[in-house]
């Protein structure tokens, strides 16, 4: 199966959003949400970016956007809804 492009946006409490993209296998995409969930429980999230390891404190992450939506959601995820005004 061909790799898909995945986009992740970390909307930070302090600082500009960190936008990442890369090609991942379907299996990687399915595991992405659970890996992020475990990282948040560890109080930081590590990202290998341009040959450097960047650690982001979980307390500085406001929201995380993942596209496409992983088929294996995190616990407590509400699916198939729309935002309204």
Is the pLDDT reported for residue 85 higher than 90?
no
Contact 41, 25 (CB under 8 A): no
Contact 29, 6 (CB under 8 A): yes
pLDDT digits (tens, 9 = 90+) for 12-65: 999 999 999 988 887 787 788 778 888 878 888 889 989 999 999 999 999 999
Is the pLDDT reported for residue 1 higher than 70?
no
Q: In sequence order, which residues have a C-beta less than 8 Å from that of residue 44 and are 6 or more positions away? A: 55, 56, 57, 58
**Residue spans per domain, the chain:** 4-67
Contact 72, 31 (CB under 8 A): yes
Contact 56, 10 (CB under 8 A): yes
The pLDDT confidence band at residue 73, using thresholds 50, 70 and 90, is low
Q: What is the pTM of this model?
A: 0.79
- The pLDDT, as a whole number, for residue 3 is 86
């Amino acid at each position: 199966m061909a790799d898909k492009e995945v986009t992740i946006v970390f909307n930070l409490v302090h600082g500009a959003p960190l936008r990442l993209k890369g090609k991942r296998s379907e299996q990687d995409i399915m595991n992405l949400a659970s890996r992020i969930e475990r990282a948040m429980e560890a109080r930081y999230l590590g990202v290998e970016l341009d040959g450097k390891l960047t650690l982001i404190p979980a307390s500085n992450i406001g929201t995380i956007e993942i596209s496409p939506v992983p088929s294996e959601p995190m616990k407590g995820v509400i699916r198939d809804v729309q935002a309204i005004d």
